[in-house]
Amino acid sequence: MDINSVKKRIHQLRKEIDYHNKLYYEESRNIISDFDYDKKIQELIKLEELHPEFKSASSPSVKVGGKITKDFNTFNHNVPMLSLSNTYSNQDLFDFDKRVKKNLNVEEVEYLCELKYDGVALSIYYENGLFKRALTRGDGEKGDDISNNVITIKTLPLKLSESVDLEVRGEAFISKANFMMLNDEKRLNNEELFSNPRNTASGSLKMQDSSIVAERRINCYLYSLVSDKENITNQEESLNYLKNLGLNVPKTFKKCKNITDVKEYIDYWENKREDLDVETDGIVIKVNKLKYQKVLGNTAKSPRWAIAFKYKSESKKTKVLDIRFQVGRTGAITPVALLDPVELGGSIVKRASLHNSNEIERLDVRINDSVHIEKGGEIIPKVTKVETNERVLDTGKFKFINSCPACDTELKTIEDQAVHYCPNYKKCPPQVSGRIEHFISKNAMNIEFLGPETVKGLINEGLIRDVSDLYNLKYDDIIDLKFNIDEEDKIRSLKNKSCENILRSIEKSKENEFSNVLFGLGIRYVGKTTAKKLAKSLKSIDAIISADYDKFIEVDEIGDKIAQSLIKYFNDSENLLIIQKLKSSGLIFSDEDTNQIKSTNLKNKIFVISGKFENYSREELQKVIEENSGKVSKSLSSKTSFLLAGENMGPKKKIKAKDLKISVINEKEFFDLL
Ligand code: IVH
């Protein structure tokens, strides 16, 4: 490369890396794989080394990416939060070992290996054993104070087992199982899905409303003791010390006596890490002795005593045979790429999700394209890259459909989102069958012997139009019912035993409690938790049908969006008719399990509970209020009587309470009042 080309390439790489850093650190998004990102960084470092005349202090190879987000207080880190140098190759790993040994002038060096958790780095301060503050990495020098959000992490103790001053670092993350659940809820609510656990954790921790953060059930693993402590001489002892203080240190770390043992650890976890509930993208190898770590020191960007060995996420190349559109039970349209079948991570992959119109636009994916697919946090793989230069024909950009593939109704979009949906709620076939499939599902009425295929068969035969018809099915109606069993259009028919099982499980479903029935109705945005809260708070379907907007938002966790959706649902006479028919069939439509009322001292008083309390959890306080005839609401309104405020309550709530002239009381004042 001539000198001008080198200069140009360095400039281009810096621009690209800065752009990806900005997306990653400020918007929690990544649009290239870690591997491609690291390749760019490595190319830049190499070019800068070969041409020191182009070195610059502001190059992304020198500084840690990221900026400070605006809405939080910022604090300087006591010790800069660096990043790790990465490698994907054994050669680099052995070179690292050689370098370390040479610099220390020793024959062999002991390492402490840990998994590299794929989440968000946190620095957490304790004073006298009590949680003081949690900061993000920010620009490495100073970070955002996201304490209000971090205290929602249940596994992070607010009090340590000893009264010590401490700074500790770790990784906040959303577990795989939890991520699936969050996206299931998104799917039910017709909302755009979260892209992956890391971005969801990072986006959540930067939210201003910590009650939403709490719902994301974030977890945190600790891996570094920053403060110096007497008697602690190596990383292994630090981890054990943190564990003994009550901090969440995973057991997966291992002391390795040399680099060969390190390699064994790497090989062991390569496949095994799939079984863990936390996303990991590699291994962190740390020189065990703290004394050695000090000798080796840091570069501007990363420590010389540690390296991350990253696993390449398995990717396969295949061809897009077609792009189809699926209609969900709430009408949401999901584009799906049908692929030339290919083996990936132990299974044959035939389809990949394209998420929504934005994703199709971003990838510029077209039918017949060669694409790379990878398995992410979701079960269905995603398309990560399109080989645009392998296109033979210019077919033009793929166009998102305008009308429903099932019923031809013109599609609508949801404001601010890339989600398209079919508004033909009542007649669109996949929506009709989807609602019934939702009703019979495990979390709702659990009608276990009825499956999606049989439901479609029943609809095709005109035996059911909505969920209420299930309870009128007779043996003679369904014996020999024809239905398709799989995608290959094989026709089956119902035999005696299956008919008996189906009818028995339908009958048994009548015993389900009210919240299951309510959830089963499939009201948009009403997930299982909301259904439970509604049933517990309003007690019966009649109370729910006659409730108005204000009544709904008094219910814990119900805000504007859900309240509007409930009103819309219960204003529809067809829905009321279905409920009437279900009632006549004997389903349970009231909550028997009412709280024991102890007094009417708090009658007509509406409380909003916020923050952390010394003696009681928020749930316990809610119970006390309800037992004394008071009500608890999620959001402040002119109807709120008291804001019951604990520690670390967000400032926004305080300001709003002041504006609305609502009395703010603490835990003690509450019990005095009672
Ligand atoms: S030690 C100088 N240990 O990886 C940084 N980091 O690329 C020392 N990470 O910012 C960090 N698991 O967010 C360390 N077991 C582990 C880790 C870990 C994940 C993250 C951390 C760090 C990033 C570095």
pLDDT beyond 90 at 575: yes
Residues composing the chain = 674
Q: What is the pLDDT of residue 487?
A: 58
DSSP string, 636-656: --TT--EEEE-BT--HHHHHH
Report pLDDT for 70. Answer: 46
> Hey, which residues does 127 pair with through a beta bridge?
130
The helix or strand, by DSSP H or E, that contains position 285, with its residue range, turns out to be strand 280-287
Q: How far is the CA of 385 from the centre of ligand 1 (A)?
A: 27
How many other C-beta atoms are found inside a 10 Å radius of the C-beta of residue 104?
16
Angle at 639 between CA 633 and CA 642, to 5 degrees: 65
Q: CA–CA separation, 331 vs 277, rounded Å?
A: 31
Residue nearest to atom 16 of ligand 1 (CA): 116
What one-letter code names the amino acid at 362? R
Which residue minimizes the CA distance to atom 22 of ligand 1? 83
Residue 301: what residue type?
K
Bigger pLDDT: 179 vs 59: 179
Cα 667 from Cα 224, distance rounded (Å) = 36
Q: How open is the CA angle 401-406-409, to the nearest 5 degrees?
A: 65
The DSSP annotation for 405-446 comes to TTT-PBPEE-TTS--EE---TTT-HHHHHHHHHHHHSTTTT-
pLDDT > 60? residue 240: yes
The whole-angstrom separation of Cα 274 and Cα 268 is 11
Atom of ligand 1 nearest to the CA of 118: 19
Residue 224 alpha carbon, nearest atom of ligand 1:
1
* Number of the ligand 1 atom closest to the C-alpha atom of 303: 2
Kindly tell me if the per-residue pLDDT of 34 is higher than 80. no
116 catalytic? Reply is yes
- Sheet of strand 663-665: strand arrangement: 631-633, 606-610, 642-645, 663-665
Coil, strand or helix: which one is 113? strand
pTM: 0.57
Q: Which tens digits make up the pLDDT trace of 604-652?
A: 899 999 988 887 888 788 888 988 888 888 888 888 999 999 888 877 7
Position in ligand 1 atom list of the atom nearest CA 115? 15
Res 68: pLDDT: 40
Q: pLDDT-based confidence at 489, cuts 50/70/90?
A: low
pLDDT, residue 26, reads: 63
The pLDDT of residue 637: 87
- The secondary structure of residue 389, as a DSSP letter, is G
Mean pLDDT of 90-116: 96
Collapsing DSSP states into helix, strand and coil, what is residue 246? Answer: coil
**Region 329-346 average pLDDT:** 88
Q: How confident is the model at residue 394 (pLDDT cuts 50, 70, 90)?
A: confident
Give the pLDDT mean for 375-379: 60
Stretch 529-534: mean pLDDT, rounded? Answer: 88
Q: What is the mean pLDDT of residues 335-362?
A: 87
pLDDT digits (tens, 9 = 90+) for 252-290: 999 999 999 999 999 999 989 988 999 998 999 999 999
Which residue's alpha carbon is at the smallest distance from atom 9 of ligand 1? 116
Task: Tell how far the Cα of 549 is from the centroid of ligand 1, in angstroms.
Answer: 47
The mean per-residue pLDDT over the stretch 79-97 comes to 93
How far apart CA 372 and CA 395 sit, in angstroms, is 20
Among residues 166, 285, 174, 171, the alpha carbon closest in space to that of 235 is found at: 285
Residue 117 CA, ligand 1 centroid: distance in Å: 8
Closest CA to 247 of 129, 111, 113: 129
- Max mean pLDDT range (11-15, 270-274, 334-338, 491-495): 334-338
Cβ partners under 8 Å of residue 649, min gap 6: 610, 611
Q: What is the largest CA-CA distance in the chain?
A: 87
Confidence of residue 143 (pLDDT cuts 50, 70, 90): very high
Q: Element (H or E) spanning 4, and its range?
A: helix 3-27
- State residue 638's pLDDT score: 86
CA of 135 to the centre of ligand 1 (A): 15
- List, in sequence order, the alpha helices (H) in 28-71: 34-50
Residue owning the nearest CA to atom 13 of ligand 1:
121
- Residue found under tokens 């929690």: 28
Q: Whose CA is nearest to atom 21 of ligand 1?
A: 121
The pLDDT of residue 455 = 95
pLDDT digits (tens, 9 = 90+) for 23-32: 776 666 667 7
Cα dihedral 633→72→82→153 (10° resolution): -10
Mutate to test the pocket of ligand 1, among 116, 120, 136, 236 (most ligand atoms within 8 A of CB): 116
Tokens standing for residue 587 = 């389903």
Three-state SS at 311: coil
For residue range 311-323, what is the model confidence (pLDDT) as tens digits? 877 788 999 999 9
Mutate to test the pocket of ligand 1, among 81, 284, 301 (most ligand atoms within 8 A of CB): 284
Which one, of 173, 121, 384, lies nearest residue 280 by Cα? 173
Atom 23 (ligand 1): residue with closest C-alpha?
Answer: 83
Cα of 221 from ligand 1 centre, angstroms = 11
First to last CA, the chain: 80
Of 549, 575, 577, which Cα lies nearest the Cα of 563? 549
Residues whose CB is less than 8 angstroms from the CB of residue 483 and which lie 6 or more positions away in sequence, other chains included: 453, 454, 456, 457, 458, 460, 491, 492, 493, 494
Interval between CA 301 and ligand 1 midpoint (Å): 13
Q: Bridge partners of 383?
A: 373
Cα of 441 to ligand 1 centre, how many Å?
41
C-alpha 214/C-alpha 529 separation (Å) is 14
CA 170 to centroid of ligand 1, rounded, Å: 7
Mean pLDDT of 46-56: 84
Position of tokens 């989440």?
119
Residue 84 Cα to ligand 1 midpoint, Å, equals 7
Maximum mean pLDDT: which of 208-222, 228-242, 269-283: 228-242
**What is the pLDDT, as a whole number, of residue 641?**
92
- Decide if 97 contacts 259 (C-beta within 8 A): yes
Spatial distance between the Cα atoms of 392 and 515, rounded to a whole number of angstroms: 56
Tokens found for residue 203: 């986006």
Q: Whose CA is nearest to atom 6 of ligand 1?
A: 116
Ligand 1 atom closest to residue 120's alpha carbon, by position in its atom list: 13
Say yes or no to pLDDT of 512 above 90.
yes
- The token duo for 419 is 């989600």
The residue among 428 and 330 whose pLDDT is bigger is 428
The closest alpha carbon to 352, from 175, 342, 362, 314, belongs to 342
CB-based contact 74:138 (threshold 8 Å): yes
How far apart are the CA of 16 and the centre of ligand 1, in A? 23
Pairing verdict, β 332-344 and 315-327: antiparallel
* Residue of 223, 226, 290 to test ligand 1 pocket, by largest number of atoms within 8 Å of CB: 223
Residue 521 has pLDDT above 60, yes or no: yes
Please, which contacts does 53-57 make with residues 24 or more away whose CB atoms are closer than 8 Å?
A: 54/6, 54/7, 54/10
**pLDDT at residue 101 is higher than 50:** yes
Catalytic residue among 55, 67, 116, 291: 116
77 CA → ligand 1 middle, Å:
16
| The pair of three-digit structure tokens given for residue 10, joined into one six-digit string | 């360095």
At 346, the amino acid letter reads G
pLDDT band at 63 (very low <50, low <70, confident <90, very high): low
Helical packing angle, 560-570 and 573-584, nearest 10°: 70
**pLDDT tens across 441-457, in order?**
988 999 989 999 999 99
Hey, whose CA ends up nearest to atom 18 of ligand 1? 116
What CA–CA distance (Å, rounded) separates 400 from 334? 10
Does the pLDDT value for residue 375 go beyond 80? no
Copy the structure tokens of residue 518. Answer: 């309510």
Which residues form ligand 1's pocket by a CB distance below 6 Å? 82-84, 114, 116-117, 121, 171, 223-224, 284, 302-303, 306, 308
Please state, for a pLDDT cut of 90, what percent of the chain lies above it.
Answer: 55
Helix (H) or strand (E) holding 157: none
pLDDT for 313: 75
Query: Residue 416: its pLDDT value, please?
Result: 66
**Four-point Cα dihedral 251, 253, 256, 259, nearest 10:** 150
* Beta-sheet pairing, 482-484 with 332-344: unpaired
Angstrom distance (rounded) from CA 450 to CA 585: 18
What does each C-alpha distance from 310 to 85, 117, 267, 281, 284 come to in angstroms? Answer: 10, 11, 12, 6, 9
Q: How far is the CA of 593 from the centre of ligand 1 (A)?
A: 48
